[in-house]
Amino acid sequence: MATTITSQTTFPSHSLSNSFHTHFAPSFKISLASKQKPYPRLRVSNALIEPDGGRLVNLVVEESQRNRKRREALSMPRIQLSKIDVEWVHVLSEGWASPLSGFMRETEFLQTLHFNSLRLHDGSVVNMSVPIVLAIDDEQKHLIGESRDVALFDSQGNPVAILKDVEIYKHPKEERVARTWGTTAPGLPYAEEAITHAGNWLIGGDLEVIEAIKYNDGLDRFRLSPAELREEFTRRNADAVFAFQLRNPVHNGHALLMTDTRKRLLEMGYKNPILLLHPLGGFTKADDVPLNWRMRQHEKVLEDGVLDPETTVVSIFPSPMHYAGPTEVQWHAKARINAGANFYIVGRDPAGMGHPTEKRDLYDADHGKKVLSMAPGLERLNILPFRVAAYDKTRGKMAFFDPSRPQDFLFISGTKMRTLARNKESPPDGFMCPGGWEVLVEYYDSLVPSSEGRTPEAVPV
Amino acid sequence: MATTITSQTTFPSHSLSNSFHTHFAPSFKISLASKQKPYPRLRVSNALIEPDGGRLVNLVVEESQRNRKRREALSMPRIQLSKIDVEWVHVLSEGWASPLSGFMRETEFLQTLHFNSLRLHDGSVVNMSVPIVLAIDDEQKHLIGESRDVALFDSQGNPVAILKDVEIYKHPKEERVARTWGTTAPGLPYAEEAITHAGNWLIGGDLEVIEAIKYNDGLDRFRLSPAELREEFTRRNADAVFAFQLRNPVHNGHALLMTDTRKRLLEMGYKNPILLLHPLGGFTKADDVPLNWRMRQHEKVLEDGVLDPETTVVSIFPSPMHYAGPTEVQWHAKARINAGANFYIVGRDPAGMGHPTEKRDLYDADHGKKVLSMAPGLERLNILPFRVAAYDKTRGKMAFFDPSRPQDFLFISGTKMRTLARNKESPPDGFMCPGGWEVLVEYYDSLVPSSEGRTPEAVPV
């Protein structure tokens, strides 16, 4: 089994150590095994927090139906999916957005834009803060005509899914951007990539995904579905699951926070809190550290014993990144409920970035956690605000900032870290485990020839 | 009594006829009488729909406290209110925004921006879609310093209210505009008037309003508070109240719709449905017909018997206008719940306008009613979608559009109506009652000298 996996590995410079497998996905065989049979449509673990809407959606068709669906798809009008579209099909197919059963129709889209939530037929409310929509252009709309169902193809011409009972409605791009990001300034990475040049129509419908989405990048085995994560948490007898969303390298400040959170949960009486260390794996902006490098860095952090593999599950969250701050952090939290997490760690300025055209952060650093704590449909989730960690010079390690002795603390900014890594200098001892730091140095090294004038940011989660 | 009122009248060209009083506010004496004593703080009518939060907020201090509060205000740091600020004080003071008890603090502001609703302490949710906030600049913030309470003064230097337990927080103007309007294009009337040049801080707190807000423009007697409207509906034994928000002249298409709505409600089994014809009285954009002209036009419509005074209450809604389409229509509906309405008529493109910089409407014409029908906190309100009325040439009157014979219908656009009124031509017989039309002609006539190049729009509600 392990051999099979290693053969898929496409990490940039060296193959993965055994400890990597051990640390990251100890239940890997179980998970893979579970992929051999289709998941039951209804999947609720009593021990874990209930998924939104009461059941975890699974939109992948049963294996026995696969060929029939593929043939059906070939006879339908076609939509070619972009890379980000495929990531959303992936997200939807595994139920991260439960109870959503496909790309949004207009009523769902409007509720998301205006209320960041969806009201279900029974009157209950689930959170849904970012539009999960599929854009088509005038020509595609014309080709679809009155067809009830359409087929979604990837860029290689393979049928990926069928979208049923479709509804085509206007794509109000400016309004979508304004209500999702709170700005319409040019330069929002997701908007530039997936909205500004996208079609003037949106098409919603119910998805039937022909086969589980795979990327064949050596990292698929870390892409555990919500159902697989729930199995893993159950297998480990977790009585609390705390999720940590990140899209950047882990430093010892993060590690301190995660360790401290576990301690606090134990003090609260939980017997076995499990950390879901959950790097985002979909679209990220050009100056973020790419997923494969981040995974190598996370590997080193676990190898170096900074986090305890026994109580940590590392997995990839397949969603693309919006960088939509308070709006997006709700999505990040909601998706983790569906994966079984009942605690969510939220930091300073989650999912934030610099304003694209002004010299300031796009969002108030505190709005994310405030909005998250009040968000409709997230009442069941326990929000754990991030405590600020900095380098304590007196102790030679990352520690929670003590406002009574600010002179003892060093805040290592993204710029500072980048400059150090670029110049192959070392950060203060204890800032990041040496193995993790080496990965970063290597990454920035690999950029030098082509990155004149670029300023990758690497510190914040 | 009637004499006192007439003396306050400041209608542009002639004083009001007696029938005006009779038609518009038959319960006028009762209403005025009720203003002599302070309202009780808790005010729930069992017969009518409950106000949001269970009780109608009244922020006007009791008469016995008035002088003491005025003296207190004189010793506090001062904020000078703009005209729109005073309109919001008015709105808040009478409980249109119940259960809001003052200008929003940050948690309320954020919930409004992101969720268009507020979660109350008991877990219930009320709708609240537009921010009701007070902006201050750096200097005012500095002057307020650590003061717990501040005084709000009008432009004449009179103390209007005290704001207690204040909270000062950042005014994220761009984000506020983007999330409220779904655009940040320059030229949004409310944003230009009240946001773009406003201070960089918002100040929230609990309001104590020293005296009921009056405008002394001859129309105050039509400004019935939610409590007074509830009294009036109760006095009339209303078993259903249907509200019609408007900011434009009433034509016979509107009248048909209102009459038809009453008929439908009677068919549904209601014995005495009362129409609340509720023109908006606060800030409107420069090319809308001003309130005093609209009230004269509405008067004529009732005089001419187009609407039945026995089953119609005409009153002024004191809110300023945002022109924020689907976001604002929720506010328009929510405020009417507080005034006792359990049915709300919603038209095409409610609270909409042209895009300020592009040649298109700012909002999809159907989004308003769709968003309204799904809005959190408005579940108790019955939404009545507007049927399209047009001039039926075969019958010589306004009628519901019949798609089977489109050639028989004439849609009279704002441009068409304006051109006719400007040129002192008549619209087709039956488009608007002659008295109402004369008021419009007179209004546009009064504009001619100073309005070269302006293009007032006058038709849509």
Question: Tens digit of pLDDT for each residue in A108-135?
Answer: 999 999 999 999 999 999 999 999 999 9
B286 and chain A: CB distance < 8 Å anywhere? no
d(CA A225, CA A58): 10
End-to-end CA distance of chain B: 33
pLDDT bracket for residue A355 (50, 70, 90): very high
Q: Report the chain B residue with the minimal C-alpha distance to residue A176.
A: B182
- DSSP-based helix, strand, coil % in chain A, nearest 5: 40, 15, 45
pLDDT bracket for residue B274 (50, 70, 90): very high
Q: Is the pLDDT confidence value at A185 over 50?
A: yes
d(CA A351, CA A367): 11
Q: What DSSP string describes B300-357?
A: HHHHTTSS-GGGEEE--B-PPP---HHHHHHHHHHHHHHTT--EEEE-SSTT--B-SS
Q: Do B374 and A110 touch (CB under 8 A)?
A: yes
d(CA B457, CA B243): 23
Q: Do B114 and A183 touch (CB under 8 A)?
A: no
Q: Is the pLDDT confidence value at A14 over 60?
A: no
Token digits of residue B426: 């008549």
What pTM, to 2 d.p., does this model score? 0.88
Q: Do A374 and B175 touch (CB under 8 A)?
A: no
Q: Is the pLDDT confidence value at B456 over 60?
A: no
Q: Do A364 and B327 touch (CB under 8 A)?
A: no
Q: Is the pLDDT confidence value at B42 over 60?
A: no
* B114 vs A107, A172, A371: nearest CB: A371
By C-alpha distance, which of B256, B229, B260, B221 is closest to B336? B229
B186 and chain A: CB distance < 8 Å anywhere? no
Instruction: Give all strands of the β-sheet with A343-346 in edge-to-edge order.
Output: A312-314, A273-279, A240-246, A343-346, A382-385
Average of per-residue pLDDT across B378-397: 91
Touching A: B residues 398-437, CB under 8 Å: none
A246 and chain B: CB distance < 8 Å anywhere? no
Taking the CA of residue A361 and the nearest CA in chain B, the distance in Å comes to: 11
Among the ranges given (A134-138, A390-394, B269-273), the one the predictor scored with the smallest mean pLDDT = A390-394
Q: Identity (one letter) of the amino acid at B250?
A: V
A370 and chain B: CB distance < 8 Å anywhere? yes
Token digits of residue A16: 């993965």
List the beta bridge partners of residue A118. Answer: A126
Under DSSP, the state recorded for B126 is E
* A364 vs B111, B170, B364: nearest CB: B170
Taking the CA of residue B178 and the nearest CA in chain A, the distance in Å comes to: 5
Task: Give the contacts of A345 (CB within 8 A, at least 6 positions apart).
Answer: A242, A243, A244, A245, A257, A258, A261, A384, A386
Q: Is the pLDDT confidence value at B327 over 80?
A: yes
Q: What pLDDT is recorded for position A414?
A: 67
Residue numbers in A near B374 (CB within 8 A):
107, 110-111, 115, 119
Q: Do A110 and B367 touch (CB under 8 A)?
A: yes
Q: Are B324 and B112 in contact (CB under 8 A)?
A: no
Higher pLDDT, residue A249 or B149: B149
Q: Are B195 and B176 in contact (CB under 8 A)?
A: yes
pLDDT bracket for residue B122 (50, 70, 90): very high
Among the ranges given (A158-162, B30-34, B154-158), the one the predictor scored with the smallest mean pLDDT = B30-34
Q: What pLDDT is recorded for position A447?
A: 82
Q: What pLDDT is recorded for position A271?
A: 95
d(CA B170, CA B133): 11
Tokens 């087709």 found at: B428
Residue of A104, A109, A114, A183 for testing the chain B interface, max B β-carbons within 10 Å:
A114
pLDDT 10s digits, B135-177: 999 999 999 999 999 999 999 999 999 999 999 999 999 999 9
Average of per-residue pLDDT across B209-227: 97
Residue numbers in B near A115 (CB within 8 A):
115-117, 374-376
d(CA A436, CA B310): 80
d(CA B458, CA B286): 12
pLDDT bracket for residue A23 (50, 70, 90): very low
Higher pLDDT, residue B17 or B201: B201
A181 and chain B: CB distance < 8 Å anywhere? yes
Among the ranges given (A12-16, A257-261, B351-355), the one the predictor scored with the smallest mean pLDDT = A12-16
Q: Do A326 and B114 touch (CB under 8 A)?
A: yes
Q: Is the pLDDT confidence value at B21 over 60?
A: no
Under DSSP, the state recorded for B392 is E
Q: What pLDDT is recorded for position A305?
A: 87
In this structure, are strands B343-346 and B240-246 parallel, antiparallel, or unpaired?
parallel
Higher pLDDT, residue B336 or B415: B336
d(CA A309, CA A303): 9
Higher pLDDT, residue B248 or B366: B366
Under DSSP, the state recorded for B275 is E
Q: Do B117 and A115 touch (CB under 8 A)?
A: yes
Count other C-beta atoms under 10 Å from residue A206's C-beta. Answer: 17
Average of per-residue pLDDT across B18-32: 28
Token digits of residue B38: 């302070």
Residue numbers in A near B326 (CB within 8 A):
110, 114
Q: What are phi and psi of B131, to 5 degrees?
A: -65, 130
Q: Do B179 and A175 touch (CB under 8 A)?
A: no
Q: What pLDDT is recorded for position A40?
A: 37
pLDDT bracket for residue B414 (50, 70, 90): low
Average of per-residue pLDDT across A350-355: 94
Count other C-beta atoms under 10 Å from residue B460's C-beta. Answer: 16
Kind plus residue range of the DSSP H or E element containing B252: helix B252-267
Taking the CA of residue A360 and the nearest CA in chain B, the distance in Å comes to: 12
Q: Report the chain A residue with the minimal C-alpha distance to residue B371.
A: A110
d(CA B73, CA B152): 8
B110 and chain A: CB distance < 8 Å anywhere? yes
pLDDT 10s digits, A47-80: 799 999 999 999 999 999 999 999 999 999 999 9
pLDDT bracket for residue B416 (50, 70, 90): confident
A356 and chain B: CB distance < 8 Å anywhere? no
A329 and chain B: CB distance < 8 Å anywhere? no
Q: What pLDDT is recorded for position B448?
A: 65
pLDDT bracket for residue B110 (50, 70, 90): very high
Q: Is the pLDDT confidence value at B415 over 80?
A: no
Mean pLDDT over each residue of chain A, to the nearest integer: 87
A180 and chain B: CB distance < 8 Å anywhere? no
pLDDT 10s digits, A409-452: 998 876 677 778 878 888 888 899 999 999 999 998 888 665 45
Residue of B112, B115, B370 for testing the chain A interface, max A β-carbons within 10 Å:
B115
A101 and chain B: CB distance < 8 Å anywhere? no
* A370 vs B110, B129, B375: nearest CB: B110
Q: Are B461 and B248 in contact (CB under 8 A)?
A: yes
B367 and chain A: CB distance < 8 Å anywhere? yes
Q: Report the chain A residue with the minimal C-alpha distance to residue B370.
A: A107
The residue count for chain B:
461
Q: Is the pLDDT confidence value at B8 over 70?
A: no
Q: What pLDDT is recorded for position B449?
A: 60
Token digits of residue A261: 């959170």
d(CA A229, CA A213): 17
Q: Do A114 and B119 touch (CB under 8 A)?
A: no
Q: Do A114 and B375 touch (CB under 8 A)?
A: yes
Token digits of residue A305: 């014993």
pLDDT 10s digits, B186-204: 999 999 999 999 999 999 9
Mean pLDDT over each residue of chain B, to the nearest integer: 87
B356 and chain A: CB distance < 8 Å anywhere? no
B111 and chain A: CB distance < 8 Å anywhere? yes
A397 and chain B: CB distance < 8 Å anywhere? no
Half-sphere exposure of B356 (CA within 13 A, CB side): 16
